[in-house]
Structure 1
Amino acid sequence: MWLLLLKFLAAHFLGDFVFQTKKMVQHKKKSIYFLSHIMIHTALLIVFLWNDEMWWAIAYVVVLHAITDWLKLQLSHKMKSSVLFVLDQLLHFVAIASALMLFSTLRISLDFFNQPQWWLVLVAIILVTQVTAIFIRIILSPYQEHKKISNEDKQNDKKVLFNAGKYIGILERLFIFGFVVANFWEGIGFLLAAKSIFRFGDLNNAKERHLTEYVLIGTFLSFGCAILVGLIFNYVLINLI
C-alpha cells in the first residue's frame, strides 16, 4: 500500500508546487483562484488513483486540503509566512496519512520510537545544533569585549539578515556531522575552504587582527565540536548499539 502513499504525495507536490502559479498564490483569497487550486488537486488525485477505488479517501483529502488552505489564508496576517508554510504542509501530510489509515490497509508504524538508533540521531542533532552553539558562546564570552565594532560596521549590520549567523552555524555543523557520519572527510575540507573564501573579504575589509582571531576561534570550535559529535555517534552506533 505504499504505492498509494506515493501517488497521494505525487498529486500533492504537483498541485502545491508545480501547477500552482505565482498568480494563484498571490490572489488565492479570490474564490476563482482558490477553487482552481482545489480543483487541480482533485483532478490529479482522480487521475492518479482512478483504478484504486479510493474515492472516499480522495474526497477526505480534498476537503481537508481546502479547509487547511482556508485557515492559512485567515492566519496570513497573524503569523510568519515561514511558520504558516510549515504548518500548512504538515497538516496536508497528516491528512494524507490519516486518509490511508482510514480508507486502506496501510498502517503507519511508530515502532521506530523504540529503536535506540532513532534516539541516538535525535541526541546528536540536538548536540550539534543547540548545545554546541551555547558552548561556543560561553567559550567566546571573554573575548566579546575585544570584538570592536566600528560605526561603518554598525551601519552594515542593519543590512544583515536577522539571526543569519546563528542559522549558518547550525547548517555548517549539520553538514560537518553528516560528512563525518558518511566518512566523507573531503567534504569538510571543501566546506572550510568555501567559508574561508566568503569570509576573507569581510575580514580583509575590517583590517582588525582581533576580529580575525575571534572568527577563527569560533570557526575551529564549531568545526571541532561537530566532528567530535560525529565521531562519538559513529562509535556508539557501531560498537554499543
Structure 2
Amino acid sequence: MWIYFYAAHLLGDFIFQSDQFIEQRKDKPIVTLVKHVAIHALLMGMASLVISVINPSITSATFRSFGQAIFLISISHYVIDYGKIKLSKKTNKVSSQALLFLLDQVLHFLTIIFVLHYFTTSEWSLMDSIQAFYGDFGIYEKITATICVFVLATYGTGYFLGILLQNLAPTNELQEGIYRLSDEKTEVKTKYESDGRTETEITTIKTEQYFHDSPAKIGQIIGMLERALIVILMMIDLPQGLAFLAALKTLTRFKQFEHKQFAEYYLIGTLSSAMIGILLGIVAANIW
C-alpha cells in the first residue's frame, strides 16, 4: 500500500508545486513549507481513501493508523525540506545541489516506507517492497507504480537535470550561425548606352535575420516528452525506436551544432536524459 502514498508524494513534490512556489521558499520558507506539507497531507489523505475503496476489508483501526502515519510523514517532510533549504544556502556548487536533491527524495521515500510499516500490522520487509516492482503488484498497484515512473521520468528528471546542467547552458547572446542567419546575394545589371557602349553594375545585397532561441519551458517540455516516449518504447519492448527519437531531436537543432558550447551542452543533456529514461523504462517494463 506504500506505493499509493509514494505516488501522492511525487504528485505533491512535482505536479502540484509551481516554479513560483519554489522561488517563494527563499523569502518565506516557513509559510511556503507549511502550505507545501498541507498539500502533501491532503494528497496522502486521498491516497488513503483510494486504498479503502480498493480494499473494502480495511478496518477502521487501519484507517486511523493511516491518519497517524500521514501526520508523522508530514512532520518529517517539513523537517527534511527545511533542512534542505538551510543546507542549499550554504553551498552554490552544482554537485552539492544535485546531491541534496537526490538525498531529499531518498529520505522522503524511506520515511514513507518505515512510517507506514510502523503504523500497520502487516508483514513487511524492504526487499519485499523492492521486489514488488518486479511483478508482485496487483493491477491497481501496477497502475500507480507506472504513474510514479512517469512522474519521475518527466518532472523529476527534468528538475534534476536542470540543477545538474545549469552551468553548462550556452549564453543567450546573439551569435553567428546560432541566433543569426546571414545571407549574401550578388546582382549584376548591364546598361546599354546610345553610342553602343555597355556599363556593368555589380551590387552585393547582404541580409541578416536575427532570432532568439526558444524559451526554456519549451526545452523542458521537449525533454519531458522525450523521456516519456523512451519509457513507453521500453515498456512495449521497442528499443529500436530510440534511434528514430534521437534523429528527430537532432534534426531540429542541426544548425546550432556549429557552436561548440551548445553542441557539448546538447550532447551531455541528451545522453543524461536518455540514460535516466532508459533506466526508468526498464523499471516500468518489469512492473508489468
TM-score by length of 1: 0.46
TM-score by length of 2: 0.40
Larger radius of gyration: 2
> If each structure's strand is expressed as a fraction of its own residues, which one has the higher value?
2
